Structure 1
Amino acid sequence: MNWRSLFALGVSGGLVPCPAALVLLLSAITLGHIGWGLLLVFAFSLGLAGGLTALGLLLIYAQDLFKRLPTQIRLLRFLPTASALMMTLVGLGMATQALIATSLICPRC
């Protein structure tokens, strides 16, 4: 990772549409404050880009610490799989709750 790729990460993170930013903008449009909504979305995107850049810098400078970790730790090898499984289960749970709330699935029928 170099400075150019880190800058690209920050810019792309700031450009990606975020559901929260969309809700913010639509709420501002509904209230008749379009300019204020655009300013808030700009600040939101700038903060996201800054946060991603800061995280990238932190990982670049902490690279030596990660190299010193023992490679025999089993948890570190399975951590990406475990986190992906956890996110999948959370997503399935949220989807099930949404289907139940919309009466598409009735658990008592």
Structure 2
Amino acid sequence: MPSDSPDGSPHLTWRGLLLLGASGGLLPSPSAFLVLLTRLLTGKVGIALAMVAAFGSGMALTLAGVGLVVLRGRDALLDRVSRSRTLRTWTSRVPLCAASAVVAGGTVASAVAAGRLLSP
């Protein structure tokens, strides 16, 4: 029972998962840049390119793996929610509780910061 968007298409699909991994692998990484720069300065261009390719592949595989875990977890959670009245009730309340916690934390952090700024 996947959660669908208003147009009927699933929110997270295998195609989206592959695109997530590919886009993550293409993003420049500061660590990969430092490795590339270090290897280029030592004159080892081939090793530099191989290491940057390894960084990109590792990032793509990591993002795709996390996405796969999210897909499997979503399906398992939706299956359990559909069978449990208590989970159905709390599923609608969790976003409000999370938002309230974020607002409360931000308010406390702002009050602490304001107190430190205003104290002599």
TM-score by length of 1: 0.64
Which segments of structure 1 move beyond 2 Å, counting only runs of 4 or more? 64-76, 78-82
**Number of matched pairs:** 83
Partner of 2:26: 15
Partner of 2:39: 28
Larger radius of gyration: 2
Output the amino acid matched with 2:39: A
Partner of 2:114: none
After superposition, residues 41-52 of structure 1 pair within 5 angstroms as 41-52=52-63
RMSD (CA atoms): 2.6
**5+ long unaligned stretches in structure 2:** 1-11, 82-86, 107-120
**5+ long unaligned stretches in structure 1:** 86-109
Secondary structure of residue in 1 paired with 2:61: helix
- State percent identity of aligned pairs: 35
Q: Distance in 1 between matches of 2:59 and 2:100?
A: 25
Q: Distance in 2 between matches of 1:15 and 1:34?
A: 19
Q: Distance in 2 between matches of 1:34 and 1:76?
A: 52
